[in-house]
Structure 1
Amino acid sequence: QSFGAFLAHGITFDLVGDGNDYVGKGLSGGRIIVRPPENSRIVAENSIIVGNTVLYGAITGECYFRGVAGERFAVRNSGAIAVVEGVGDHGCEYMTGGIVVVLGETGRNFAAGMSGGVAYVLDESGDFAKRCNMAMVELEPVPEEDDMLEKLHHHG
């Protein structure tokens, strides 16, 4: 558990396999990559690659997950950038900063208590609004040019 917790700037962890709960807890500038082995038969975008409460309280840094995360992804994230194939329930809960890109499905109650940062969710099925907690967030399409997405081009 807690793989890459409090990882500092200038350090990259590249895990070929899967991570448990609390990956990137308190991330402090480092970079975490978690991906399945190249010869794996699993379909990464449909398979759990990291557990629950990933990026809890992350401050800054980058994470790239080639697979789906469990519940409470990026809870209390205040500045980290993350890309993931999908998340379970309560994703981006209480998030105050940072950028999260979800390239697949989310669970229910996404963005509950989210007061800052930006989450980009690929909504291929068109029903994300039903799973998003709209109490503190608004949904809008991504403009052709987006400054927050541009930041992603300068990382990784």
Structure 2
Amino acid sequence: ITEQTEIRGQLDFREEECVPVPLNEVEPAVEIVKRFCTGAASFGSISDEAHRAMAIAMNRIGGKSNTGEGGEDPMRFTQLEPGEFEAGAVKWDIVGGDTFRSKIKQVASGRFGVTAEYLANADELQIKLAQGAKPGEGGELPGYAWGGADLPSAAPRYVLH
């Protein structure tokens, strides 16, 4: 059924006409991975451990992780000492130059966690103008997700647009 409903099922490859591209003409993997980015995932939508894992992995390959809405713990901006580092339920094997810092900082209408320090530690800013998954004015950050009171998203600030 895939052959009938998917575009790839309608294509035929003429392998006899394919000529391999010489490796010296191909961009090296170390350059390709610099364009790799994670999707925006705010702390609370995923665990702290998952957030740190994405950040450290992307930093190690030269890619970029995205904080998502909600800011980032300033402790993550500093370079870590090599050795074992314990955070939450995870023990990390830190190598020289590792950091948990996300290179992409997201700013959304609620501006949760947005500070001058947060913005200054960005390699790239992502300004979120809309969120398709939530109807109306937006959602709510439940208190149990961050240890405080429920926080409804602020009304959109159309001045940003």
- TM-score interval, normalised by the smaller of the two chains: under 0.3
Higher Cα Rg, which structure: 2
Query: Between Structure 1 and Structure 2, which shows a larger proportion of strand residues?
Result: 1
> With CA pairs under 8 Å and 6+ residues apart, which has the higher RCO, 1 or 2?
2
